[in-house]
Amino acid sequence: MSNNLLDVQNLTMKFGGLIAIDDLSFSAKKDHITSIIGPNGAGKTTVFNCLTGFYKATAGSMYLNKDNNKMDLKKFSDFRVAQKAGVARTFQNIRLFPQMSVLENMMVAQHNKLMVASGFSILGLVNSKSYLQKEKEAVEISKYWLDIIGLTNRADDNAGDLPYGDQRKLEIVRAMCIEPHLLCLDEPAAGLNAKESAELNKLLKFIKNDKKTGILLIEHDMSVVMGISDHVVVLNYGKKIFEGTAKETKNSPEVIEAYLGTED
């Protein structure tokens, strides 16, 4: 199992008496897009919150295989998951820094790297050459990603002023700026029109193939899920009810039952 990027074993999350995730095990591969689908309230976002350190899982284990170096995600709390383990995420309701410019959003994502480069602000205060060089590189990286999503000409505008679809894409490339090994996307296609969804598919495929970043995807839009997923995990009431390829999932009676109910 060494080629798995993410190994989740027997993950359980309880809120008081409510069991949000019940003994969930799944894995995700490095150059795969793994989708987690399921009806509303199935516990998909809770899985993300456990993975990215926003919740502390009640039981179970989560291992990230980072360059043949097994990291226990449970050891990291909130921001350290992104900082140390390289797990980035986006949110169901977009969380940009709306009053800051697009470029600034990208620069904040490179905070830890720049913080070290600026000598924890001391070198930065005296305008040291090495810091200015690093800052320039960070701008280049931002420009690279903004070129890909076609937002370079709006780099100096406030992120909150962008159209909705662009905000979604910006949030994804902002997460890519921390150079993650695993990118967790929480409903990236929500509210997008058909054209924007197609662009999103292209972007995600690019991240998977060219950046070799594993993607974990929560999505309701089946055209996105079926179009790009290599592997699908179906949850219902916190339990895994099916796991397989997109095609297998589409024809699985358990999945159809969970979504549509049974015939009497």
Partner 1 sequence: MGKDLIQKSLKDSLFTGIIALALFGPIVGLRTVAKNEVLVVEPKWFVVLLIVIFCAVGRFFINLYTFRKEQRRGEQSSFGKAVSNFLDEKGAQIAIAAIAFSIIFPFMPFADRYWMDIAIMMMTYIMLGWGLNIVIGLAGLLDLGYVAFYAVGAYSYALFAIHFGWSFWICLPIAGLFAGMFGILLGFPVLRLRGDYLAIVTLAFGEMIRILLLNWYELTKGPDGLTGIPRPSFFGLPFKRYPDEGVETFHTFFGLEYDPMQRIIFLYYLILILALITNAFTIKIRRLPVGRAWEALREDEIACKSLGVNPRNTKLTAFAVGAMFGGFAGSFFATRQAFISPESFTFIESAIIVAIVVLGGMGSQTGVVLSTIFLIGLIEVFRDFESYRMVAFGGAMVLIMVFRPRGILAKRKPTIMMGKHG
Nearer to partner 1, 5 or 81 (CB): 81
Q: Are strands 239-244 and 231-236 parallel, antiparallel or unpaired?
A: antiparallel
CB 48 to partner 1: min, Å: 10
Does 107 participate in binding partner 1 (rule CB under 8 A)?
yes
Q: Which of 92, 97, 199, 220 binds partner 1 (CB under 8 A)?
A: 97
Total residues binding partner 1 (CB under 8 A)? 48
Q: Distance between CA 6 and CA 66 in Å, rounded?
A: 9
Does 244 participate in binding partner 1 (rule CB under 8 A)?
no
Residue 100 token pair: 């800051």
Residues facing 29 on adjacent strands: 4
Does 155 participate in binding partner 1 (rule CB under 8 A)?
yes
Would you give the distance in Å from CA 122 to the centre of its chain? 33
Q: DSSP state, 225?
A: H
Nearer to partner 1, 20 or 103 (CB): 103
Nearer to partner 1, 33 or 82 (CB): 82
Q: Which of 96, 203, 218, 233 binds partner 1 (CB under 8 A)?
A: 96
Does 109 participate in binding partner 1 (rule CB under 8 A)?
yes
Nearer to partner 1, 19 or 114 (CB): 114
CA distances from 8 to 31, 32, 35, 162 (A): 17, 16, 14, 36
Strand ordering across the sheet containing 87-89: 87-89, 182-186, 214-218, 33-37, 231-236, 239-244
Residues of this chain, 113-142, that bind partner 1 according to CB under 8 A = 114-115, 117-118, 120-121, 124-125, 135-136, 139-140
Nearer to partner 1, 211 or 250 (CB): 211
Q: At what angle do helices 129-149 and 194-210 cross, to 10 degrees?
A: 130
CB 227 to partner 1: min, Å: 26
Nearest to 230 by CA among 37, 47, 29: 29
Binding mask 23-52 for partner 1 (x = CB under 8 A): -----------------------------x
Does 237 participate in binding partner 1 (rule CB under 8 A)?
no
Residues facing 177 on adjacent strands: none
Nearer to partner 1, 22 or 137 (CB): 137
Q: Distance between CA 228 and CA 43 in Å, rounded?
A: 22
Q: Distance between CA 102 and CA 148 in Å, rounded?
A: 14
Binding mask 64-93 for partner 1 (x = CB under 8 A): --------------xxxxxxx---xxxx--
CA distances from 1 to 45, 48, 124, 245 (A): 25, 22, 45, 18
Would you give the distance in Å from CA 80 to the centre of its chain? 15
Judged by the rule CB under 8 A, the positions of this chain that interact with partner 1 are 52-54, 78-84, 88-91, 95-101, 103-104, 107-109, 111-112, 114-115, 117-118, 120-121, 124-125, 135-136, 139-140, 143, 152, 155-156, 174-175, 177-178
